[in-house]
Amino acid sequence: AALNAAGVAIMHATHRDAPMLCCPSSCPAGQVPTGRCEGNHAADCTDAFPCPTCSDNQRYSGFCEGAGSASQVTCLDCASCSPGQYVARPCDFSNDTMCEACQSCPQFTYPNGSCTTGAETSDIECIACSSCPAGQYLTSFCSGTGSNDTTRCAPCRASCPAGSVLSGECTGSDLRDIVTCEVCPTGTYSPSTSARECVPCPPGFFSGQSATECLPCSSGEYSEEGSLQCLSCSDWECSGATPYRSLCTGNSSGYCSGSPAWTDMNPSGSGPGPIRAHAVASDPSTNMMYAFGGFKGGVRSGLLYRLTMDTSVLNWQLIAAGPSGAEPAARAYHAAAFLRTAIAGSPAAGLWLSGGAKVGNKATQEVWRTPPVVGTGVSANWTISASHALPKALERHAMVAVPTADGHGELWVYGGKTGVQEATGDLMVLRVGASASSARWEVVDRFVNGTNVTNATVSVRRALAGGPQPKPRWGHGMSVVGGTHLCLFGGQGPWSELFNDLWCWIMAEGKWTEIESVSLVEPVARHSVGMVGVASEVWVFGGRAGALRTNDLWKIEVLSEGGGVWLEMLSDGREGSPQERELVGMAEIKGGMIMV
């Protein structure tokens, strides 16, 4: 060991004749190591710069402690946090100030402090604001930027003029009064200012729209429950038949054997039971009807049932899937049609399903087909083709089948729900011929900004559309009338607009025509309606009209020159009538109508 010139102890070691020097462990007073030591020479010591005296809110520009620093160290001002930040770590001699962004409070909360100066030493907390009780709505609410709970509540509408009813419920979290007044439809009344349901007029009484009371029929007239007018007893006396009616007074019902008669068929076998939002289709040539899907006990179903009507006792049968096991998933709000073709074994023949909403309320584009299910102990051979998929996912649309001259057929779809408040006005056709796999949907007519646009690539007879057309809608009825007209009635448009208009697409001319009513009374606007075409007439039943379900039955002639007159068909009373309902399945069979 030896001392160098600076008086620092060093050690010599020999490694292949090269001296190895150990770094010094200290320097004399007033000096500090330069910080360089690479193993083959000793670090130098140098005169130390003294540490400066910094004021508050200042820090050293470099490292300095004890004896000082090998380089000049100065005092620097500490950084300041900006408004919207807080001091996460204060400044000291060695470290600058650390700033963090203050959190932003969402709506319906307020901060427990301020974060506007940049001098705060902690983040704010977001405190939940109070809510309004049920039956009230928020007139003001916490925006997330205030300093206290600014929630203010006001009572929702609690009364409506007599002749209307309250609709909607305030939960306390609404930003406006969502309770509205809906007028009572014809045949009902509301004497109260706080009612939530309109009351049907009793037999022998009638009312118009927005009625506060029902008026009695005159002597020699009668009316059913929920009537909008009284009828003369003599109107129901049938020429050449014995009248089936009671003595008419101002409050009794008169009937006649010429009136339509509903009959509860009570089929045997394993049927669907109570069901809604399903789809039905009939095959009149075999007196069979099919029902698929819908809600059973609030749960979507994927079951197929067949109703046989070729015997005196109707019989339901559950139809299982075929050997392949392929079958449509459970769904509701879909459409069905049965296509009977002239060519046996045509790929167009059978039961077709389109669209609908699956579990999770997910609308689908799927189109399924099974050939006719004939005989007992048989199964449905379901198939699905990607080429037949609807252009867009649809629910609550309508579909009908039309045989064609080539022995095959076409499927026609109109309207449907495409979103929460969205409906389409597209009229589409799928031509299923001998080469069914190549068939694609064609948009024949489209509603665009108040005008209809015709697909110019389709055949000439379908390229003539123009002029007036129905508005986009869902929940409408559609049927084939006379083999030449596709007619639709009612439905609901975007933002709850209800319709009671009747339109027919004339296939030979390729255009829409509205069947204008010339009668004083007509069906009220409604959606989720049942509809069939019988001969040259359209028949509609039930549906939902505002706050009420209905069970009225109407017909109108659409093909003859004397058409355009709506007639309400009152049951002759011998079997009663179906109760009020919506989302029914209706089909034409055996010269009449069947409703499930």
141 in a structural domain: no
Of 512, 515, 527, the residue nearest 451 (C-alpha): 512
What is the C-alpha separation between 383 and 371, in angstroms, rounded? 9
153 in a structural domain: no
- For residue 545, give the CATH number of its domain: 2.120.10.80
500 in a structural domain: yes
- 152-202: pLDDT as tens digits: 888 999 899 999 999 888 888 788 888 889 999 989 999 888 899 999 998
**pLDDT category of residue 66 using cuts at 50, 70 and 90:** low
Q: Is the pLDDT of residue 419 over 50?
A: yes
- 227-277: pLDDT as tens digits: 888 776 654 433 333 333 333 443 334 433 335 567 777 788 888 899 999
**pLDDT category of residue 559 using cuts at 50, 70 and 90:** confident
142 in a structural domain: no
Please give the residue range of the domain that contains residue 39: 1-77
Residue with structure tokens 């409906």? Answer: 423
Answer for the pair 331, 293: CB distance below 8 angstroms, yes or no: yes
Residue with structure tokens 């448009």? Answer: 493
- 343-361: pLDDT as tens digits: 877 888 889 999 999 999 8
112 in a structural domain: no
Which of the listed residues 31, 57, 77 is the one where a domain comes to its end?
A: 77
Q: Is the pTM of this model over 0.75?
A: no
156 in a structural domain: no
220 in a structural domain: no
- 391-405: pLDDT as tens digits: 999 999 999 998 888
State the first-to-last Cα distance of the chain, in angstroms, to the nearest integer: 112
Residues 319-334, mean pLDDT to the nearest whole number:
90
Q: Is the pLDDT of residue 43 over 70?
A: no
- Rg of the chain (C-alpha set): 41
Residues 119-128, mean pLDDT to the nearest whole number:
86
SS (H, E, C) 247-277: CCCCCCCCCCCCCCCCCCCCCEECCCCCCEC
DSSP designation for 196? S
**Count of domains forming the chain:** 2
149 in a structural domain: no
Which of the listed residues 30, 47, 77 is the one where a domain comes to its end?
A: 77
Which of the listed residues 29, 55, 77 is the one where a domain comes to its end?
A: 77
Residues 570-589, mean pLDDT to the nearest whole number:
73
- 271-296: pLDDT as tens digits: 889 999 999 998 877 888 899 999 99
Residue with structure tokens 């007044």? Answer: 181
